[in-house]
């Protein structure tokens, strides 16, 4: 607990006044037991109360007050217990004597104390860097060994995610590209980018300010985007905010409401929670389980799983070579990035395992090397790895996008119902690329923004995002994980005459992980073929 948070100040003031309830007293004691900073701050505050009677008795009240402040500033080792007892005696003494001379000296003490307090507050960092993921900085990045950020500090990111924690308890997630300036613990200035803000009651009134408007928290979670050309949007996910475009009247927005602010005015619009990242990737406390197909066997129709955790489970995790149609050929062994790889001709050869895949909205990652030919056809880019059921948001398929939906050749993760996230790097160059898709469970049922794409170890800027929900159904699929076959190309689709839909290209070192991997883990896998820890 920060000793300058609103909650701490309320509790500490109650302690000085002697009107804390039993529960509040226990809460304050618990905070002090955990935080040396809070303990010392409380000691100093109680010492002020202890020294106040001395200042009142002196004929030179203002001098005594100054001496009191000097002693307070030097009293770093004050015992909380002793200070507490002394303050209690002083408080009773003050009350009994009914001091009438309190005005002048108390005012002097207040002025000096407030001055010292203001100076101390100015020097305290308004916010700290909590976490980052895949950050590509513009200019000098902040220190992660000393994460406190100064007032007026400017942060610019070209890509990645950054979480800031403010002293009043507000949490901010920035998605690159962004350009912000920290005004103080209650205000952040947004020059460009996308920002999501979560404010507890202690951060009531937190502001996001831009050149053309300001958004004031009224106890809520909200998001703001500001594009380079000045288009600004405000989306409220919970609670309420007050948005005011400069030159326009204030607008109060409730949960589920959004507005676009411009010089022309304020225009209401539908809220789009899927457009903002509101949570940082979660980390799994339990041991990570993963499947690893390295394709290093020199030949044969079976690829062994060299992973950990799933082997010996409910299903066989070995990968079997298969062919769809009499003229199709099974996938062939080829030279990979690390040892052997697997080559798909796009004519009906694919691979399958009994393992059904990761279900529901559980966190997951897929990482692999892929080589996509320059002339890959419209039906040959999808289904590099897939599992789930073809209905609703119940599938999970990694592809090189070849549809007209989004940029072609880019890394794509889809759920069948039209929902997808598409990156920006064109994979159609005949070269090996390391790709990864990470999905982490967030606090919101809508998980569309909890999907991160990586190409060659770098977080991808998303060019298209239409996912609204992820609920992968592995129980009704009728098959396990496929590799090299589009999940929509079912036996029924084939009987109805649908064109063949099989991946053409090469893969190597395929990992399926039951947790959200960090960028560092992905980079180690890419560089060293190192399994996730």
Per-residue model confidence as pLDDT tens for the chain (533 residues): 555 565 666 677 677 667 677 667 777 777 777 777 777 677 666 665 655 555 444 444 444 445 554 544 444 444 445 545 544 555 555 555 544 455 555 555 555 555 555 555 556 788 999 989 889 999 888 877 777 898 899 999 998 999 999 999 999 999 989 999 999 999 999 999 999 999 999 999 999 999 989 999 998 899 999 987 788 999 999 999 999 887 778 899 999 999 998 877 788 998 887 778 888 887 777 889 999 999 999 889 999 999 999 988 889 999 999 999 888 999 999 999 999 999 999 999 999 999 999 999 899 999 999 999 999 999 999 999 999 999 888 999 999 999 888 899 999 999 988 789 999 999 999 999 999 999 987 655 455 678 999 999 999 988 888 867 788 999 999 999 999 999 999 999 999 999 999 999 999 999 999 999 999 999 999 999 999 87
| 3-class state of residue 453 by DSSP | strand
Domain CATH code at residue 183: 2.60.120.1440
In this structure, the answer to whether residues 268 and 376 fall within a common structural domain is: no
In this structure, the answer to whether residues 240 and 296 fall within a common structural domain is: no
In this structure, the answer to whether residues 351 and 491 fall within a common structural domain is: yes
Non-local CB neighbours of 410 within 8 Å, separated by 6+ positions: 400, 401, 422, 423, 424, 425, 426, 427, 463
In this structure, the answer to whether residues 64 and 201 fall within a common structural domain is: no
Return the H-helix or E-strand segment holding 117: helix 102-123
Domain boundary among 246, 275, 304: 275
Residue 104 lies in a domain: no
Tell which residue, 307, 327, 323, has the closest CA to residue 315. 307
Residue 120 lies in a domain: no
Domain boundary among 76, 105, 137: 76
Count CB neighbours of 165 within 10 A: 17
Model pLDDT, residue 179: 96
Give the count of domains, the chain: 3
Joined tokens for residue 309: 């955790």
CA distance 75 to 77: 6
CA distance 172 to 180: 11
Instruction: Please state whether the predicted TM-score (pTM) of the whole model is above 0.75.
Output: no
In this structure, the answer to whether residues 479 and 372 fall within a common structural domain is: yes
CA distance 340 to 327: 25
Residue 220 lies in a domain: yes
In this structure, the answer to whether residues 219 and 294 fall within a common structural domain is: no
Establish whether the linkage from the previous residue to 353 is cis, with ω within 30° of 0: no
Q: Which domain holds residue 265?
A: 127-275
Domain CATH code at residue 485: 2.60.120.200
User: How far is C-alpha 276 from the chain's CA centre?
Assistant: 10
In this structure, the answer to whether residues 294 and 219 fall within a common structural domain is: no
In this structure, the answer to whether residues 188 and 255 fall within a common structural domain is: yes
CA distance 198 to 523: 30
In this structure, the answer to whether residues 242 and 303 fall within a common structural domain is: no
Domain boundary among 275, 308, 336: 275
Residue 343 lies in a domain: yes
CA distance 68 to 436: 62
């Amino acid at each position: 607990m920060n000793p300058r948070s609103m909650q701490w100040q309320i509790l500490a003031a109650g302690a000085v006044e002697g009107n804390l309830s039993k529960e509040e007293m226990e809460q304050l004691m618990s905070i002090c037991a955990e935080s040396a900073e809070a303990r010392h701050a409380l000691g100093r505050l109680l010492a002020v109360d202890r020294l106040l009677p001395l200042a009142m008795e002196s004929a030179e009240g203002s001098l005594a007050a100054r001496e009191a402040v000097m002693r307070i500033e030097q009293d770093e080792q004050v015992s909380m217990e002793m200070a507490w007892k002394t303050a209690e005696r002083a408080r009773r003494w003050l009350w009994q004597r009914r001091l009438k001379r309190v005005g002048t000296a108390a005012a002097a003490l207040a002025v000096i104390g407030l001055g010292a307090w203001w100076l101390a507050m100015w020097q305290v960092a308004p916010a700290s860097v909590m976490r980052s993921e895949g950050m590509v900085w513009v200019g000098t990045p902040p220190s992660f060994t000393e994460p406190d950020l100064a007032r007026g500090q400017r942060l610019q990111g070209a890509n990645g995610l950054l979480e800031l924690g403010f002293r009043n308890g507000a949490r901010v997630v920035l998605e690159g590209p962004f350009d912000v300036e920290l005004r103080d613990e209650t205000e952040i200035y947004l020059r460009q980018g996308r920002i999501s803000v979560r404010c507890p009651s202690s951060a009531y009134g937190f502001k996001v300010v831009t050149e053309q408007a300001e958004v004031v928290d009224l106890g809520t979670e909200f998001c703001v985007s500001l594009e380079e050309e000045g288009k600004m949007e405000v989306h409220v996910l919970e609670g309420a905010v007050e948005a005011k475009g400069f030159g326009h009247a204030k607008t109060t927005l409730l949960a589920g409401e959004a507005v676009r602010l411009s010089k022309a005015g304020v225009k209401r619009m539908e809220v789009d929670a899927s457009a903002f990242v509101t949570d940082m990737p979660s980390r799994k406390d339990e041991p990570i389980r993963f499947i690893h197909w390295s394709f290093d066997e020199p030949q044969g129709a079976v690829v062994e799983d060299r992973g950990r955790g799933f082997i010996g489970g409910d299903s066989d995790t070995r990968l079997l070579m298969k062919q769809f149609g009499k003229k199709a050929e099974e996938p062939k062994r080829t030279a990979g990035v690390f040892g052997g790889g697997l080559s798909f001709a796009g004519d009906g050869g694919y691979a399958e395992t009994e393992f059904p895949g990761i279900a529901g909205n559980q966190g997951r990652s897929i990482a692999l090397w892929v080589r996509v030919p320059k002339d890959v056809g419209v039906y040959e880019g999808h289904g590099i790895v897939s599992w789930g059921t073809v209905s609703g948001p119940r599938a999970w398929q990694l592809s090189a996008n070849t549809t007209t939906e989004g940029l072609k050749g880019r890394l794509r993760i889809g759920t069948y119902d039209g929902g997808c996230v598409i990156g920006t790097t064109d994979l159609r160059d005949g070269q090996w690329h390391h790709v990864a898709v990470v999905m982490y469970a967030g606090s919101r049922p809508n998980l569309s923004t909890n999907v991160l794409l990586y190409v060659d170890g770098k977080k991808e800027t998303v060019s298209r995002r239409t996912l609204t929900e992820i609920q992968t159904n592995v129980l009704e699929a009728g098959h396990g994980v496929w590799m090299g076959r589009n999940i929509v190309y079912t036996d029924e689709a084939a009987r109805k005459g649908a064109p063949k839909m099989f991946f053409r290209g090469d893969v190597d070192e395929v990992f399926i992980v039951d947790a959200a991997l960090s960028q560092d883990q992905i980079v180690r896998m890419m560089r060293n073929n190192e399994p996730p820890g």
